[in-house]
Amino acid sequence: MNGDKLPLLRPMLAVSAAPFDSAGHIFEVKWDGYRCLAYLEGGATVLWSRNGINLTSRFPELSWLHTRVKQTPAVLDGEIVVFENGKPSFAGLQSRGRMNDLKRIGRSSSECPAVFISFDLLYAGGKSLLELAIEKRKEVLADIVEPGDEICVSQFINGSGREFFKACVAQGLEGAVAKKLGSVYLPGRRSAYWQKFRHTREVELVVCGYQPQSSGRRLGSLVLGGYREGELVYQGKVGSGIGERESEALLEGLRKLENSKETLTIPREERRRTKFVRPLLVCSIEYLTATGEGYLRHPVYKGIRWDKNPAECHAVEE
């Protein structure tokens, strides 16, 4: 590259799909972590999130990845993962990611270390591999990475996507990803070359309030709660999955249920925007997991459950 610095890229993204079998795809674990591009150049490691945030200082135990890779300058695509009891813990990762105090970060890097799990290679030896087929990039990746406590290479299989997905779910993993053989790497783009199979769960929760959009004329999100020991506890918000007609009908009904009293305790930053309602409506929610605080991750609204009694809606535990 004639001494030029590596270009700052954004990771390629997958589309959602139902599990399938295909001789024309490879299948690998969908790791539950922080998506990250690791830049290894100039005798240093820099970790960039998918949104362009520098994560290096949050995970000092990963600052020596460049010593584990033979051909630098290089850019590796992967996930930063924290394990608890042998399984990825997103709650543990979030706890690490929120830390700012250097002493706490240093202590946590020893007590609860992160691992960089690499599954793709964008540059090696300063040369672009973006136009190489996925299987060729993975060959080079496996050849140049020396696995250790702080880095490993994600393994994959061919063909049997459905069984692989079932095995991932049985192990308590988030899901799987299918990647088309022969496909190139498309930085910053969401492409059907990569298809993710996610293991989702479903729960019924109580609508405890809502947040209108900034215009005030449309519904932004529903505030959700579940009962624990007779008290409603906050489980997060949901806006995804609510269609335009459903939004209009919900907003009309919720305005009639508005309550001046707080239905449940919510984070301070949410109070100003929230309009509380009497806890009479139940909705069905699809979600991935719950955070350490008990908030749903990636919730999707599936509809109102008129047949459900709010008292039957129990809070989701992590």
pLDDT tens column, 148-177: 999 999 999 999 999 999 999 899 888 999
Residue intervals of the chain classified under CATH 3.30.470.30 are: 13-198
Tell me how far CA of residue 55 lies from CA of 109, 111, 147, 280, 291, in angstroms: 13, 19, 21, 43, 20
* Average of per-residue pLDDT values in the chain: 92
Of 240, 239, 177, residue with least CA distance to 13: 177
CATH superfamily assigned to domain 201-312:
Nucleic acid-binding proteins (2.40.50.140)
* Better-predicted residue by pLDDT, 307 or 87: 87
Distance between CA 68 and CA 148 in Å, rounded? 8
Residue 153, classified by CB atoms within 10 Å of its CB into exposed (0-12), middle (13-18) or buried (19+), is: buried
**Helix or strand or coil: residue 146?**
coil
Q: Are 290 and 299 in contact (CB under 8 A)?
A: no
Task: Catalytic residue, from 30, 138, 179, 237: name it.
Answer: 30
pLDDT in tens, 36-79: 999 999 999 999 998 899 999 999 999 999 999 999 999 999 99
Residue intervals of the chain classified under CATH 2.40.50.140 are: 201-312
CATH tag for 13-198 (out of 3.40.640.10, 3.30.470.30, 3.30.70.270, 3.90.320.10): 3.30.470.30
Asked about 136 being catalytic, the answer comes back as no
Q: Are 20 and 194 in contact (CB under 8 A)?
A: no
According to the model, what pLDDT value does residue 199 have?
86
According to the model, what pLDDT value does residue 21 have?
97
pLDDT in tens, 256-300: 999 989 999 999 999 899 999 999 999 999 888 888 888 998 899
Q: Are 288 and 274 in contact (CB under 8 A)?
A: no
pLDDT in tens, 89-130: 887 888 888 788 889 999 988 888 999 999 999 999 999 999
Tell me how far CA of residue 53 lies from CA of 49, 50, 56, in angstroms: 5, 7, 9
**Helix or strand or coil: residue 245?**
helix
Q: Are 122 and 141 in contact (CB under 8 A)?
A: no
